[in-house]
């Protein structure tokens, strides 16, 4: 007898939607997992019902057109004509099961009941272990204990409706027992245990913001944290990885098991971000993810692997550095290169591509990764994507912004200009081809793209030294074509200044309803709101205009002419910069590093100070013109 037939797991669902229990499952609901002996009883009763149904159908055929009041369903007289004869055997069975559920009062999931469930679970594990040892050569003799264990595992799913009692699993010492099942000889039992842990740690079991009982919410949160910490301490991540390495994804059940195991990693990080570094430090999850990602064929688990990678990289420098050490940047660039000239086949594959870009952007926050990105010819790949105008082009601009930012991005800035990046950048800056992009891709955001384009321009100003030929090429671009790019800067200035003014008006109205204490608490939120509404982009525009006016008198003259049309002068722009202390400090770096022959450290410092103090004053230039 093949005992594996007892533990069939449904095929992996499409997308990443996780299976959920009903909102209010009773304990009897779980009776669908009853033992084989009970199944035989059901089949027996079903056979009897089938015979009755056949006889009734024959009676119905004979009486058709006869007495109106006699429908031949004596056994179902109470239900009436519409409940008899028209039901299949399966439907009758389902109705009887519903009747059974309604007839019995559900057992309350209090601490005592949970303990009973846990003790039955422990008993089933011990019995199965004993019988497996005793009847090692006769699987049919421990088959029943395996079925009992399977049932008790599934019964513990009811705990998801009472997460405040998770700590009972810890206090009764059942965490090692639960995790021991991940190494069970029967892979299907291990898959059951993975599914159970996935459900118990799902983010939906945590208290929502709408929970009014704060004391209960606190108790649930604490119980979940105690439970998860115990899982980590008992080597859950290591055991999960062992299963990922042994499961065969050509089998539907194993494929679902991989999906559930990855889901547990996601759950752990959602409960506490610190677990992102812990799972990477304790296991080889990053190498496994990179190997799983570095394949050509798309499938749901490959897409989920990329998503887990992006989650692990979000808040951890250590994880990003390890990604670089493992060659992860090359893997991400290789995967993305398949989309440089073609779009993803469907939404799921588009999500995979998006998560690859997200992972890359997260990693590029580290100086070490910027260097690896340069060596992997990432700049060239992003420029190809932009030229091809594929879906990947939307995110390629963002990647370039991240790769070229800060002083660590200087080498990438040089590579960008040397690879004719300016020729690719400025058509985007001028808004060429926007209508096609908006029509073709719902994910396209003009506002987001303008922010990243200006970020690239500012990074070029910051990292290309004064009087360097590459910087001069950049500045000259703004005087070409009758200063059309300067005109574009002023169009953006007007647009984002108006948006910021509108946001400030809304904020001032809201402030009138707040007291001093609330105003102080909301100050940061109000500023973030302004940044999101366009203040950040407005600031980039102002920085670009000022530095261009300082370095090119022709641009200054054209800018003053545009300002005069609005009855303004250069102080309109400089005041926007001076209003933000951090932005005023940033203005110094936007003027660019000093280009000079090699000198001692002290000489370089003195020269930099002299140059900064001698930098042209924009207001003075404005007055002189």
Q: How many helical (H) and strand (E) elements, i.e. helices and strands, does the chain have?
A: 31, 0
Query: pLDDT tens across 524-570, in order?
Result: 999 999 999 999 999 999 999 999 999 999 999 999 999 999 999 99
Q: Looking at the structure, do residues 619 and 577 belong to the same domain, yes or no? A: yes
Among 431, 463, 495, which residue terminates a domain? Answer: 463
3-state SS, residue 340: coil
Please count the structural domains in the chain: 2
Same domain, 452 and 417: yes
234 within a domain of the structure (yes/no): no
pLDDT at 438: 85
Q: Which domain holds residue 582?
A: 482-624
Asked if residue 486 and residue 339 are part of one domain, the reply reads no
Q: What CA–CA distances, in Å, run from 85 to 43, 47, 79, 533?
A: 20, 16, 11, 65
pLDDT at 392 over 90: yes
- Average pLDDT of the segment spanning 88-96: 67
**3-state secondary structure string, 57-103?**
HHHHHHHCCCCCCCCCCHHHCCCCHHHCCCCCHHHHHHHHHHHHHHH
Which of 134-143, 168-177, 292-301, 501-510 has the least mean pLDDT?
A: 134-143
Residue 81 has pLDDT above 60, yes or no: no
Q: Are residues 458 and 552 in the same domain?
A: no
Span 450-464, pLDDT tens digits: 999 999 999 999 999
Same domain? 451 vs 495: no
Q: What percent of the chain has pLDDT over 90?
A: 64
Please state, in angstroms and rounded to a whole number, the distance separating the CA atoms of residues 567 and 565: 6
Contacts of 125 (CB under 8 A, 6+ apart): 149, 152, 177, 180, 181
Tell me the two tokens of residue 300.
Answer: 């749901």
Contact 122, 77 (CB under 8 A): no
- Mean pLDDT value of segment 134-147: 86
- Say whether both 302 and 442 belong to one domain: yes
Q: In this predicted structure, what is the pLDDT of residue 107? A: 55
Angle between helices 553-565 and 536-551 (to 10 degrees): 130
Domain boundary residue, one of 401, 435, 463: 463
Mean pLDDT of 615-621: 42
Query: Does one domain contain both 535 and 601?
Result: yes
Asked if residue 23 belongs to a domain, the reply is no
Domain assignment present for residue 300? The answer is yes
Q: Do 512 and 417 sit in the same domain of this protein?
A: no
């Amino acid at each position: 007898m093949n005992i594996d037939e007892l533990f069939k797991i449904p095929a992996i669902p499409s997308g990443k939607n996780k299976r959920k229990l009903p909102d209010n499952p009773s304990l009897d609901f779980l009776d669908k997992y009853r033992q084989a002996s009970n199944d035989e009883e059901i089949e027996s009763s079903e056979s009897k019902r089938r015979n009755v149904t056949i006889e009734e159908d024959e009676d119905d055929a004979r009486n058709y057109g006869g007495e109106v009041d006699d429908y031949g369903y004596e056994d179902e007289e109470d239900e009436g004509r519409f409940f008899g004869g028209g039901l299949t055997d399966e439907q009758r069975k389902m109705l009887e099961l519903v009747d059974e559920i309604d007839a019995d009062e559900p057992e309350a999931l209090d601490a005592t009941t949970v303990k009973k469930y846990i003790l039955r679970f422990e008993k089933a594990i011990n019995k199965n272990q004993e019988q497996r040892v005793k009847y090692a050569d006769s699987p049919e003799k421990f088959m029943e204990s395996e079925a009992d264990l399977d049932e008790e595992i599934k019964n513990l799913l009811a705990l998801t409706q009472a997460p405040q009692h998770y700590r009972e699993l810890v206090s009764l010492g059942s965490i090692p027992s639960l995790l021991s099942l991940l190494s069970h000889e029967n892979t299907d039992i291990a898959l059951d245990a993975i599914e159970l842990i996935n459900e118990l740690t799902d983010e939906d079991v945590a208290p929502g913001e709408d929970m009014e009982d704060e004391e209960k919410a606190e108790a649930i949160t604490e119980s979940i944290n105690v439970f998860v910490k115990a899982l980590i301490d008992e080597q859950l991540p290591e055991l999960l990885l062992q299963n990922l390495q042994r499961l065969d994804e050509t089998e539907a059940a194993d494929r679902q098991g991989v999906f559930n195991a990855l889901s547990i990693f996601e759950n752990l990080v959602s409960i506490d971000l610190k677990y992102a570094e812990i799972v990477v430090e304790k296991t080889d999850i990053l190498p496994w993810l990179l190997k799983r990602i570095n394949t050509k064929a798309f499938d749901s688990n490959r897409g989920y692997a990329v998503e887990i990678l992006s989650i692990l990289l979000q808040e951890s420098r250590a994880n990003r550095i390890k990604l670089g050490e493992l060659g992860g940047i090359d893997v991400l660039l290789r995967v993305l290169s398949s989309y440089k000239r073609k779009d993803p086949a469907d939404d799921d594959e588009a999500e995979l591509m998006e998560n690859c870009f997200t992972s890359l952007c997260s990693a590029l926050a580290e100086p070490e990764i910027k260097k690896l990105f340069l060596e992997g010819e990432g700049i060239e790949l992003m420029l190809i994507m932009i030229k091809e105008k594929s879906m990947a082009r939307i995110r390629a601009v963002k990647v370039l912004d991240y790769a070229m930012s800060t002083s660590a991005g200087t080498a990438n800035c040089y590579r960008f200009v040397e690879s004719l990046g300016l020729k690719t950048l400025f058509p985007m800056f001028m808004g060429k081809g926007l209508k096609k992009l908006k029509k073709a891709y719902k994910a396209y955001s003009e506002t987001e793209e303008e922010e990243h384009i200006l970020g690239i321009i500012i990074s070029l100003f910051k990292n290309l030294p004064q009087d360097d030929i590459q910087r001069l090429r950049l500045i000259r671009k703004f005087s070409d074509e009758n200063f059309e790019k300067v005109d574009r800067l002023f169009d953006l200035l007007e647009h984002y200044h108006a948006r910021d003014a509108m946001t400030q008006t809304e904020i001032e109205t809201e402030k009138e309803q707040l007291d001093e204490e609330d105003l102080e608490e909301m100050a940061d939120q109000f500023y973030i709101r302004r940044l999101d509404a366009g203040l950040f982009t407005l600031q980039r525009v102002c920085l670009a205009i000022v530095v261009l006016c300082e370095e090119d008198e022709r641009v200054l003259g054209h800018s003053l002419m545009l300002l005069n049309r609005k009855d303004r002068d250069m102080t309109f722009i400089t005041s926007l910069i001076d209003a933000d202390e951090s932005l005023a400090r940033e203005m110094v770096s936007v003027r660019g590093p000093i280009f000079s022959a090699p000198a001692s450290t002290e000489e370089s410092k003195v020269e930099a100070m002299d140059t900064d103090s001698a930098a042209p004053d924009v207001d003075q230039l404005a007055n002189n013109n």
